[in-house]
Amino acid sequence: MKKLVVTFAVMAMMGGLAIAAGTRAPMTALTDDQLAGLGKLEAVETLSFNDAGVPTFIAGELGRLETGDHAAGALRFLQELTPMFRATGREELALSEVKEDELGKVHVRFRQTLRGIPVVGAELLVHADRATGKVYAINGTFVPDENLPQRPALSGEVALQQAAREAGIVSGVALDRPELVYVVRENGKAYLAWMTRVTFSDGKGEHLDRIYADAVTGELVTSEALIHSALYRKIYTANNGTSLPGTLLFVEGGSSSDSVAMAAYNNLGYTYNYYKTKFNRDSIDGAGMQLIATVHYGNAYNNAFWNGSQMVFGDGDGTTFSPFANALDVVNLDV
């Protein structure tokens, strides 16, 4: 018999499903389709949502991949669960990576598009045992096509000029033609946006940023630096909740009285320096990507994981496991 088990200290009823008070719960009650999707899973132990009411992390005994082809099996597994992610049928998933690790696990990554338009920041990962196909976790960001704009109201040039001004970029030069994308923020909200790379100079030197302008209003949605001169780390705390990335504690060059946060910071540094020294690899992407970590995830959470953009560390239950950020081998393996 299939069972749905969500085990936490304090329970609150939402839409008929028991959800932990310490869990990242949706802003509204789960839909009937979401409840039906959850009912297809064997035993759920951890369940987190973003503000849009879409799951971002599911762990437990979730089921089994049907075939030895891990990519095909993972895609079919996700397709069975699309109602749980509030999918409308207009979203697409494309395989981007299949990775097997030395622990006998397989990790299958899918990128998302909407009506053929890339969704920047949206991907789902399925984690399973390589030999048995048993799925033990799903994590990532999925954007359902709910009331999202389909066409831009502004040209790429007009929108990006406005966004560049908001970003404080003066005399910037666009390196690419504007590309129409959806981009998702940390809270799960998605925007139809124009994207380009911009190079510019200021008192701090030369910069290369990727900026995203709202294709309807022209407002700056987000930007990211593509050039980093050195190792750059950002450490957050989830405060025993499951909202990511959480509350910022400190960034590169800073410190904290939180020993677990400092362990995460130092171990990320050791890992970066090892790959830089041995392989001349500049961070995870080889291009100076910021190293972001969240500590104190969940309540006595016995795991650590990479969610596609950052490391997440549980504190352990104090009996079987201690804080995972303290272990250099865990940081090294997951990064």
Q: How many other CB atoms sit within 10 Å of the CB of residue 97?
A: 12
b/e per residue 56-77 (b: at least 16 CB within 10 A): bbbbbbbbebeeeebbebbbeb
Domains and CATH numbers, the chain: 11-141 (no CATH), 156-225 (3.10.450.40), 233-334 (3.10.170.10)
Contact 58, 50 (CB under 8 A): no
Burial class (CB in 10 A: 0-12, 13-18, 19+), 216: middle
What pLDDT is recorded for position 28? 55
Would the pTM count as exceeding 0.85? no
pLDDT at 38: 84
| pLDDT confidence of residue 292 | 93
pLDDT of residue 1: 34
* Rg, Å, the chain Cα set: 21
Q: Cβ(36)–Cβ(16) under 8 Å? A: no
Short-list 333, 327, 335, 287, CA closest to 311 = 335
Region for residue 293 given its phi and psi (left: phi exceeds 0; alpha: psi -120 to 50; beta: otherwise): beta
Per-residue pLDDT 10s for the chain (335 aa) are 333 333 322 233 333 343 433 344 554 578 888 888 888 888 888 888 888 889 989 999 999 998 779 999 999 999 999 889 999 988 999 999 999 888 889 999 999 999 999 999 999 999 999 999 999 999 999 999 988 999 999 999 999 999 999 999 988 999 999 999 999 987 778 999 999 999 988 776 678 889 999 999 999 999 988 876 567 889 999 998 888 898 999 988 888 899 999 999 999 988 888 887 777 777 777 777 889 999 999 888 988 998 878 999 999 988 888 899 988 765 554 55
Burial, 171: exposed, middle or buried (Cβ in 10 Å; 0-12, 13-18, 19+)?
Answer: exposed
What's the pLDDT score for residue 8?
Answer: 28
Contact assessment for residue 268 and residue 206, using Cβ atoms and an 8 Å cutoff: no
Q: What's the pLDDT score for residue 331?
A: 57
Residues 6+ apart with CB under 8 A from 12: 18, 19, 20, 21, 25
- Say how many residues make up the chain: 335
